[in-house]
Amino acid sequence: MFGILHWERIMIMLLVACIFMSLITVPAAAIERHYTWEVTYQYKSLDCYKKLAIAINGLTPGPTISAVQGDTIVVDVINNLLMENVAIHWHGIRQRGTPWSDGTDGVTQCAIMPGETYSYTFVVDRPGTYMYHSHYGMQRESGLYGMINVSLPVGVSEPFNYDLDRGIILSDWYHRTAYEQSTGLSSIPFDWIGEPQSLLISGRGNYNCSGLAPSVCNSTNPQCSPSSLTVISGKTYRLRLASLTSLSSLSFQIEDHEMTVVEADGQYVEPFVTKNLFIYSGETYSVLVTANQDPSRNYWTSINVVSRKPKTPNGLAIFNYYPNHFLKLPPTNPPNANSMTANVSEAHPWHLHGHDFWVLGYGEGKFNLSRDIEKYNLVDPIMKNTVPLHPYGWTALRFQADNPGVWLFHCHIEAHLLLGMLVVFESGMEQVGNIPKANYGCGKTKDLFKP
């Protein structure tokens, strides 16, 4: 009798254990995601004005990489530009163990020459919102960029709740080519690039074509119809924002809707509510927006220039409540949150490759070691990979040099980088692993190096 009861207890315990294990969701194994990208010149009319742009597989902006934490990303980049080299930087990806895939021309690799193919391989080791863009010349200004969205594994929850996830690229757009701009920057006398002609939301803008021939600027071109984000009343959306401007600092806002900021540069932040968000070149954010307004109409999504003399018109998109037509224009004027005073100086967004840093403090005037160090936040500083240095001010950063490699630290304004606003950190080079043969030499000189 004792033996029968004993085995009954064991069977019950095993049954309970099986039920318990069945309730546990095992995260899916990381996988390798392989992409083949052909980089070409394309004529685009992103703001209705026809211009020579750079596309990936015909797309400007380029395709979004969507992955899961722990995945390995392999991107074969084919350079089919006729007269330009290419290098692509994976902005915000730390490249632990793969510093040669950082994509920085002249620092971690030779640029990909016309007709060549180069393979980038790296692991996305953290969830969050990131971006990629050219790191050669001023090609970012020509549209060679896109987003990287990294999700948590199945069964692992975010520290905030939402129903649906959307990505939005914010950028500025010049009508002069990158060649014309870079030539002006290197000329005597110096020729500054000036203000952009348009601001784009998800690769769409609307330039005033009046007075221009339709072959040059056509406001009926579907390429420049306003981008639209369709929402369902009552749902909460995670909007992943990435600023890929070449110059402009922006304010982002959605008419009559509040935003809750929950992520910055791939790091969770203490949530806070705002009506508009200042976002600088190279920064990414996630904001939560609930569609809780009158669903019988649409609303404006807008961006405008801040911290400069705002000559560029606002960028506009439509926050579309289903089932309204996605191009039904809102009945109101677009919001404008330009509350910053124009200055002869400007904000410089600084980006560090291969690392994140703690933002310990910032202030006005020249940094004073004895006085300003007392302002440092050493308790709970925010962690980022890109931060603005404001006009006539200072910003204090701290990072841990725990990622062997050679890493660029630079202003993310395209023209400033071209003019040399950068430094390079070398860290633990003796710990760098076997460098791929593709990273030895440039062009024909690669044949001189043996594995």
Least confident of 24-28, 222-226, 318-322: 24-28
Residue-level pLDDT at 233: 98
pLDDT digit string, tens, across residues 151-169: 999 999 999 999 999 999 9
Q: Where residue 370 falls among pLDDT bands split at 50, 70, 90?
A: confident
382, 420 contact by CB (below 8 A): no
Query: Which has the closest alpha carbon to 414: 253, 246, 274, 284?
Result: 246
pLDDT digit string, tens, across residues 224-252: 999 999 999 999 999 999 999 999 999 99
For residues 281-309, average pLDDT: 95
Whether residue 25 is predicted with pLDDT greater than 80 in this model: the reply is no
Q: Where residue 337 falls among pLDDT bands split at 50, 70, 90?
A: low
Per the listing, tokens 């910032």 go with: 362
Q: How far is CA 215 from the centre of its chain?
A: 32
Query: Which has the closest alpha carbon to 237: 225, 254, 252?
Result: 254
Query: What whole-number distance in Å separates Cα of residue 18 and Cα of residue 21?
Result: 5
Least confident of 230-244, 269-283, 340-354: 340-354
Average pLDDT, the chain: 90
> What are phi and psi for residue 194, nearest 5 degrees?
75, -170
For residues 355-379, average pLDDT: 92
| Alpha-carbon dihedral sign for residues 224, 245, 150, 240 | negative
Residue-level pLDDT at 308: 76
141, 414 contact by CB (below 8 A): yes
Three-state secondary structure readout of the chain:
CHHHHHHHHHHHHHHHHHHHHHHCCCCCCCCEEEEEEEEEEEEECCCCECEEEEEECCECCCCCEEEECCCEEEEEEEECCCCCCECEEEECCCCCCCHHHCCCECCCECCECCCCEEEEEEECCCCEEEEEEECCCCHHHHCCEEEEEEECCCCCCCCCCCCEEEEEEEEEECCCCHHHHHHHHCCCCCCCCCCCCEEEECCECCCCCCCCCCCCECCCCHHHCCCEEEECCCCEEEEEEEECCCCCEEEEEECCECEEEEEECCEEEEEEEECEEEECCCCEEEEEEECCCCCCCCEEEEEEEECCCCCCCCEEEEEEECCCCCCCCCCCCCCCCCCCCCCCCCCEEEEECCCCEEEEEEEECCCCHHHHHHHCCCCCCEEECEEEECCCEEEEEECCCCCCEEEEEEECCHHHHHCCCEEEEEECHHHCCCCCHHHCCCHHHHHHCCC
Residue-level pLDDT at 327: 79
Residue-level pLDDT at 288: 99
Residue-level pLDDT at 14: 43
Query: Given strand 422-427, what is the order of strands in its sheet?
Result: 386-389, 348-352, 405-411, 422-427
Residue-level pLDDT at 158: 95
% of the chain residues with pLDDT over 90: 78
Residue-level pLDDT at 245: 98
Q: Which residues contact 350 (CB under 8 A, 6 or more apart)?
A: 386, 387, 388, 389, 395, 409, 410, 411, 412
Whether residue 9 is predicted with pLDDT greater than 60 in this model: the reply is no
Residue-level pLDDT at 8: 52
Q: Which residues contact 56 (CB under 8 A, 6 or more apart)?
A: 37, 38, 39, 62, 63, 144, 146
Residue-level pLDDT at 449: 65
Residue-level pLDDT at 413: 96
Q: Where residue 437 falls among pLDDT bands split at 50, 70, 90?
A: confident
Q: Where residue 29 falls among pLDDT bands split at 50, 70, 90?
A: confident
Residue-level pLDDT at 443: 72
Max intra-chain CA distance, the chain: 102
107, 135 contact by CB (below 8 A): no
> What are phi and psi for residue 420, nearest 5 degrees?
105, 20
For residues 265-286, average pLDDT: 98
Least confident of 8-22, 304-318, 336-350, 412-426: 8-22
More confident residue, 326 or 148: 148
Query: What whole-number distance in Å separates Cα of residue 390 and Cα of residue 307?
Result: 9
Query: What whole-number distance in Å separates Cα of residue 122 and Cα of residue 127?
Result: 14
Query: Which has the closest alpha carbon to 54: 145, 178, 131, 143?
Result: 143
Domains, in order of start, for the chain: 348-437 (2.60.40.420)
Whether residue 7 is predicted with pLDDT greater than 50 in this model: the reply is no
114, 83 contact by CB (below 8 A): yes
For residues 6-17, average pLDDT: 46
